[in-house]
Structure formats: C-alpha cells, structure tokens
A and B are shown apart, each in its own frame.
Chain A
C-alpha cells in the first residue's frame, strides 16, 4: 500500500460491506514533477472502521501527481505543528506533510482533523476539522484528499466525485454508480436489455441514458434522489445520445423520427423537441461546450465520420477534425480548451486530444477498442472504455497521457463510463 512508483492493486472489496463485485484500480505510469508527500497515520484513527490516512494516501497516489513517501514508524504521531520533526522530513526530500487526528465526541460522532504543511518552509498551508458520523469516514477522507490536492496542485480535486458505468453480466445489464475510486458501487437500474450512454446532469442528481427495454433505443432521465425514471424521448424510430445543457434544463438528443439520425433539443422533461441539424447525413453524439454556446457532434456529411461544431441553435457547422477517416465521440474539457475524441487508425480505435487553441493533436492511448471518453470535472483525467482479454473494462488517462489507470470488475464486462460533476456543497 505504501510502496512507491509501482503498480498497485487496491483490493477495495475488503472495505465495502456490499456484496457486489467492486471495481479494482491498477495504476501504471506516473506524472511528471510528482510532489513528494508524506501522509502520516492520523492519531486515534483506529476507532474508525477504516483508516482515513489510507484513503487519503490512495487517492493522492491514484492521481499520479504525488510521490508517496514511507510514513510508517513515526512514534508518537504528531497532532500539532510543534510536534513535527521537520528536519527529518526535509532530509527525506518531502515537499509536503499531512498529519491528523480522530477523536470520538460525546454525542457518538467523531472529529477528524488534518493539517497540511509545506515542509521546506515549515508552515501550515491547510487544515480543517470535520465532524462526522461513522458512515462518513470515506466521504470525509475524500474531502481531505480534495483539499490537499487543490492546495498543492492548484486544481480542484475529484476524489469526492462519482462515476456511472454499465456492467454486463451474462444477459443482465446494470447501470451502476460508484465513488471515483470505484468503491461503494450501487445499482441504479437493472435490465435484461442493453443500457448505454449514461450522462450526468450538471447538478449530479439525475442520469440520462438510453435503454432498450422497449426493443429499441429510448432516452430516459433517472432521478438518483427519488429513483423515479421518465422516458423523455420515445418517438417513432430510434432515440439516443443524450447530452445535458450546462444549465441542466435541456438535453440534446438524436432522433430518427423525421428520417435519418438528426440532433434535437428537448426539455429535460421531454417537452418541445426542436430539430437543430438538417442534413441527409448522420448527425449524432452531440456534446455542449461548457459555455453553452456551441454543440460539438459527429457527422458523416463530408463522406467519413468527423467532428463538427455548430451554434446551440443550429445553423452552419464548422468541421473540427481533418486527419484520418473516422473521428468520433467528441467531449470538451470543463475549461473549454481541449477536445478529446476517438480516432480510428489502422483498424485501432484510440483516444486523442486536440488543443482547440494551438490545434495540436496528441494520442492519449494505444488500445485496440478504446471508446466512450468522459472527462473528470477538473479536466485532468479522462475515463474511457477499453478491452482486455476480450472483455470490456474501464481505464483512465491523464490529459498529458502520463498517468494511466485501469479499473476492472471481476468476471464482468464494464463499459460506457461517465464521470460525474463536482458536488457544490
């Protein structure tokens, strides 16, 4: 667990009471300029069902942006700055150090406190005390990891976010939701017909997806709060490829009701569909730019599938990709600067990034069947579906292609990942 620079396998099933198969995560490769950091055990954390320090450390390690220093054998554990042996940590080239403590409160809840230090400067650069109940240990640990990550990298952490994906086991399909580290998977929907294209509403309370339970693709919106689901696009023909507008009020969907696959805007409740593409070609895979002004999409209007951009109201489209004969599945980073997409090259389908300002293209993966990319809300990682041993699994790659993770579920086919938004609380 505390080993450095090596691929690690987190057998997270151990920490979850759920009987479901858990995603396990394998990390390969490390980022450039990793920050050397020590995460000490939190004094008193053994009163909890899990060590907060273990979860924080695993989160930071998984991001690929930290080099974890061995932090065992420190006795007694410091809980205040004055107790930290900075000379020792300096000699071990630590840039940052995390200490913490956990105490049980009179009302049965717990207080978990951490402090983050800049070791060379010997100053505290962060610290929060959380009051939590026994069920909030993991949530609290992810929050702490988020705060440390943001303080040290300048980017917002995504350890508290969640991911959705589809698991196929035999003839059973399940839409599942798990924490970003793959733990705590819960099933939102189970069906004997395929489920695809899950998309998170911007506030993280709803998922839009395509289900084949009516023998054809129909778009549903599913509330994760109430469990209620509603068919929002169920027209004659096929209904697919839902994408949320940034205000969460509208969906772009692809309908074939008027002939051919064309892009429409509809209310998130299925109201007033309005067609926004008018071609005799395939127009599909709409994706809103973060400013809500444009829609990126895939079209074969130029003879081969390529990525285009148009205004949100429709109208003239501009071609975005030119190299190659198959460029599909456009997704835009939350800062609007980077496009990622799937390109076919020599029969292989791989993830590529395209810097919209410099127009530089970079290959991010080298798989055979990579598909369905989804940005982390901070834009630093991309989750996607890949294949290994003839089975679907999920993988993630950093935007600079240096950090790679593989997420797999024992004996099941996993596909169609969607990384959820930040929670605003």
Chain B
C-alpha cells in the first residue's frame, strides 16, 4: 500500500511537473480495491455458564443466620474491610474451616466512576482483602477464589451516591450459587 502510494505520488508529481493537461487515462493508475477487510464470519454467541446445581446447605440461606449475609461494602476508592463487616467475615471463616469441602467465590465490585480496567483491579483488591482475612482465620487457599467484576455488573444503575455505595461491594458466593 505504502509503495503503491509513493508510486502514485511520484507519478502524480511527474504529471504535475510536466504541466500538460492529462488526456484520457493519463495520470490515472489502474487498481482493484481488494476487499480490504477480512470477511466477517457469523456471530459467535456464547452462553454463560450457570450454577452447577450443587445444593446450597440451608444454614447458608437462613435469613436468621449470619451466614446468609454475603456482602461487604466499601468507601470510595477504598478496599479495606471495615470493622462492622468483621463478624460477617468471621462467621464465614468458621463455616469454611469446619466444612473443608465447601468452596466459595469472592466477587469484588466497584461503582461506575473511573476506568473500567482500573476498576477491575480495584475490585480484585477488595476480593483479595476478604480472601486474606479468611485465610488468616484458617480457611484453605483451595477453598476460595477471589475475582473481580469491576464496574461491569452493577446492582444499582443510577448516578447517585446511594447507588454507588451499593455497588462498592464484595460478595461471597458458595458453590451452587455461581
């Protein structure tokens, strides 16, 4: 392309320098436009993986049980687990330590302000923070995975602080729930 262009440029320059009006075809280079773009194959449609259907024990779902509380909320741009959420994290640590076959996914989330990729990293830091506390309390590494959803899966979608604070969150999901 570049070579062709320079060729055209030189040819055009020569034609220009000669100062003679070009007649039929002169000064015009023949070309076939290649299709220039790879032809598009059809749409790939992906079906997200759903929960694997494992039964979630009742004690994790009982609203009167602290284990049914799964969300930890954060201040703007912060990833430290505030004191008010420590009992919640401790309860899950105890459960996981007593049930070595139980597995969790910790999903970190952010509000929608700022870079999407930076928010993936920030959400990761939030999820990692929860994981670290659980680990210190005796939960095994193999029982946990911490991941980030960044700002991609907001629970609330309005541009208000009340809404943003709902989205700055880590969620604990037990196998069967993800």
Contacts and interface: CB of A to CB of B under 8 A. Distances in A.
B60 interface: no
Contacts of B39: 225
Contacts of B113: 349, 369
Interface string A255-299: 010011100000000000000000000111100000000000010
B51 to A, nearest CB: 9
A409 B25 CA distance: 43
Contacts of B123: 238
Interface string B123-136: 11100100000000
Contact of B149 (A128, A211, A212, A423): A212
A285 B23 contact: no
B40 A186 contact: yes
Interface in A127-151: 127-132, 136, 139-140, 143, 147, 150-151
A260 B46 contact: no
Contact of B128 (A139, A140, A260): A260
Nearest to A140: B33
B114 A349 contact: yes
Interface in B85-116: 105, 107, 112-116
Given A188-B40, A190-B44, A369-B113, A284 B121 contact: yes
A202 B8 CA distance: 25
Contacts of A132: 32-33
A177 B116 CA distance: 20
Contacts of B107: 215-216
Contacts of B46: 189-191, 193, 211, 213
Given A259-B128, A285-B118, A123 B16 contact: yes
Contacts of B2: 424
Interface residues of B, number: 64
B24 A425 contact: no
B139 interface: no
Given A151-B9, A190-B45, A215-B178, A261 B40 contact: no
A329 B115 contact: yes
A187 B114 contact: no
Interface in B12-57: 12-13, 15-16, 19, 21-25, 27-49
A422 B114 contact: no
Contacts of B42: 227
Interface string B1-14: 11001001100110
Contacts of B8: 126, 128, 147
A326 interface: yes
Nearest to A344: B114
Nearest to B125: A282
Contact of B116 (A129, A197, A283): A197
A222 B121 contact: no
Interface in B115-171: 115-118, 120-125, 128, 145-150, 152-153, 159
Nearest to A172: B45
A131 B29 CA distance: 11
A139 to B, nearest CB: 5
B117 A160 contact: no
B117 A254 contact: yes
B37 to A, nearest CB: 6
A241 interface: yes
Given A151-B9, A197-B117, A115 B122 contact: no
Nearest to A422: B1
A306 B20 CA distance: 59
A229 B44 CA distance: 9
A237 B147 contact: yes
Nearest to B116: A196
B118 A305 contact: yes
A45 interface: no
Contacts of A260: 124-125, 128
Contact of A193 (B9, B35, B48, B146): B48
Contacts of B29: 127-129
Contacts of B37: 139, 162, 204, 423
Given A237-B124, A261-B120, A371 B115 contact: yes
A188 B9 CA distance: 37
B44 A189 contact: yes
Contacts of B25: 129
Interface of B: 1-2, 5, 8-9, 12-13, 15-16, 19, 21-25, 27-49, 105, 107, 112-118, 120-125, 128, 145-150, 152-153, 159, 178
16 contacts: A124-B27, A126-B9, A162-B37, A177-B40, A190-B44, A193-B48, A204-B37, A211-B46, A216-B148, A240-B121, A241-B120, A298-B117, A298-B118, A328-B117, A349-B113, A369-B113
Given A124-B16, A129-B25, A189-B43, 6 more contacts: A80-B23, A115-B22, A124-B15, A285-B115, A285-B118, A298-B115
